[in-house]
């Protein structure tokens, strides 16, 4: 059985969610972590978690939307975060590739949500693009790994992964690990301890090979797990078992 640890199944790309969930179950996906990226999507994630036993929610404001974060939304996120099936705060972090919110605004939003996670004693789900060192420095300064964390869709090099694991983070791999030119990601997935690896889709984005270019969905996390099994010369069952165990541990989900 598999856990898709990062999915946006509340996205409008899915007009038949029951069919999406059925395909996921048919591919051995037993749990899906639905990730918020602003207040509305976080609320929808919570509502889906309330409705479906296999769905759990993560609430937070993405760095792209940091410009819209205010005290009222922070208070609402805090209240959502107290719900039993909300298993982390995220996805939060820094994105200096697209800069859809000013850097200083992103930093402020990141710090504010790290504070919520500390107060609620929840793990954090980190979005990091073209901001590796600043994200790492912030997490160290703010003790961001105190309650555990997930570096979602990891794109850094091996030394960064090692530093993150040392401060309490799991390293999560998505569709790009299946891409032929992703040599750096292949190295990390092959070499870090298996008990620190998670698998995800980041659906509807980052569809793995051989379906690249089509809408991604949780069923495709199987392809991510298969690629990691190949890279590590393990069986799919071994990868599925350990990554699912890791997911249950970091999100404090009963098995």
| Beta strands at 124-129 and 149-151: parallel, antiparallel or unpaired | parallel
For 197, the 3-state DSSP assignment is strand
In the predicted structure, residue 255 carries a pLDDT above the cut 80: no
The DSSP secondary-structure symbol of 180 reads: T
Find residue 221's DSSP bridge partners.
none
Query: Strand locations in the chain, DSSP E?
Result: 2-7, 29-35, 55-59, 86-95, 124-129, 149-151, 169-173, 197-199
pLDDT digits (tens, 9 = 90+) for 2-52: 999 999 999 999 999 999 999 999 999 999 999 999 999 999 999 999 999
| pLDDT tens-digit readout, 207-234 | 999 999 999 999 999 999 999 999 999 9
pLDDT tens for 51-101 read: 999 999 999 999 999 999 999 999 999 999 999 999 999 999 999 998 899
Domains of the chain by residue range? 2-251
Q: Model confidence at 118, in pLDDT bands (50, 70, 90)? A: very high
Q: How far apart are CA 225 and CA 3, in angstroms?
A: 10
pLDDT value for 17: 97
For 2-251, CATH gives 3.20.20.140
Output the pLDDT for position 214: 97
Integer angstrom CA distances of residue 92 from 70, 135, 151? 15, 10, 10
| pTM (predicted TM-score) | 0.97
pLDDT-derived band at 254, boundaries 50, 70, 90: confident
The DSSP result for 6-17, as a single string, is: EE-TTSTT-S-H
Give dist(CA 39, CA 62) in Å, integer: 10
Distance CA 33, CA 129 (A): 21
The predicted structure's pLDDT at residue 177: 98
pLDDT tens-digit profile of 149-167? 999 999 999 999 999 999 9
């Amino acid at each position: 059985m598999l856990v898709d640890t990062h999915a946006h199944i509340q996205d409008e790309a899915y007009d038949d969610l029951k069919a999406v969930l059925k395909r996921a179950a048919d591919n051995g996906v037993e749990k899906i972590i639905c990730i918020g990226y602003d207040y509305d999507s976080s609320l929808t994630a919570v509502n889906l978690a309330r409705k479906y036993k296999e769905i759990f929610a993560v609430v937070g404001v993405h760095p792209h939307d940091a410009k819209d974060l205010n005290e009222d939304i922070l208070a609402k996120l805090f209240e959502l975060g107290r719900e039993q099936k909300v298993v982390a705060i995220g996805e939060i972090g820094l994105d200096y590739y697209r800069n859809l919110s000013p850097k200083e605004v992103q930093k402020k939003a990141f710090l504010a949500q790290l504070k919520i996670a500390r107060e609620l004693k929840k793990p954090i789900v980190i979005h990091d693009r073209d901001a590796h060192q600043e994200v790492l420095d912030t997490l160290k300064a703010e003790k961001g790994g105190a309650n555990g964390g997930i570096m979602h869709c990891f794109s850094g090099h091996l030394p960064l992964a090692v530093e993150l694991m040392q401060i309490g983070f799991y390293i999560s791999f998505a569709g790009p690990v299946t891409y032929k030119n992703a040599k750096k990601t292949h190295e990390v997935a092959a070499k870090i301890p298996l008990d620190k690896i998670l698998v995800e889709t980041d659906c509807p984005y980052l569809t793995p090979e051989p379906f690249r270019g089509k809408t991604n969905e949780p069923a495709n996390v199987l392809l991510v797990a298969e690629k990691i099994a190949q890279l590590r010369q393990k069986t799919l069952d071994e990868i599925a078992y350990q990554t699912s165990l890791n997911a249950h541990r970091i999100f404090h989900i009963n098995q």
